Structure 1
């Protein structure tokens, strides 16, 4: 059998591009993407002109958390577990050392913060600290703040946090402001 010169013995690939495009659309539509996990934080605003933003911070108003390469936790020079951190932070924030806080329930200890508006939490980490431990510390800190705000909501407004108005939420946030830093504080 003799083949003619005009006969093509290859496979027709004309519709391959269409098939590839349809497969691409199929996988884009059916694939689910996990939500990114991270730490929600806000970068501080620059210091307004004419304001002294380099004010001295009393050492007792700083709660220092140190994480080492073995993921061990030290809070204010005491080795603590992650489970103990929340209560330590709550005691520190709610101390009312200067007795200017009329909503604080603290024990007014000398070595703890003056009031929640002056309290700062400083986190210092080693380069080899695991991300999971760091996130765990952040979760405990946020939980401590939210628990204090929840307690204040019940005593001040006699409501759950979910039932508060925008103005009442603003009062809670101002009463226990998030003042957490990763920067090393100068003494």
Structure 2
């Protein structure tokens, strides 16, 4: 009797391994051979799920965006203070640090390739909507309030800037410093420290 393989599960495993390899070694080092070896399968299995390296890489980029959004939504749904919620995005834990390494590996592509630019825009719009909803809920204001849109834009810029600086200067941008700077932004928006 043949072994039944869940196609989507196997495809997700390949993407997960590729995600980890990009986080560890970058885009250029990623090969189907390396993915197959890390996944314990043949290169033909990898190529069965992805036509080429570019298709797989694009999926890795999409997964990085999705994972970050899911972690943030989970933290928010659990009722954690906003400052703690943003630990899901900021490079304070291993999962979020890996996400930042993957994002950094891909951002030049977003500048040069239309599909990556569109994915970057889509992810940014989703983040902006989530930030706006989180702020509106915490401040007791309507989401459509123009001030909530402006506050969400300030917050997304602050989180991105803090995260980027922390990636390049982790000794200077400790968790405490990231929290301190983000807490100041939250206070400027009108939230008590920690949100």
TM band (smaller chain): 0.3 to 0.5
State the TM-score, normalized to the length of structure 2: 0.35
Q: Normalising by structure 1, report the TM-score.
A: 0.36
Task: Report which of the two structures shows the higher radius of gyration computed on alpha carbons.
Answer: 1
**More helix by percentage:** 2
| Greater strand fraction, Structure 1 or Structure 2 | 1
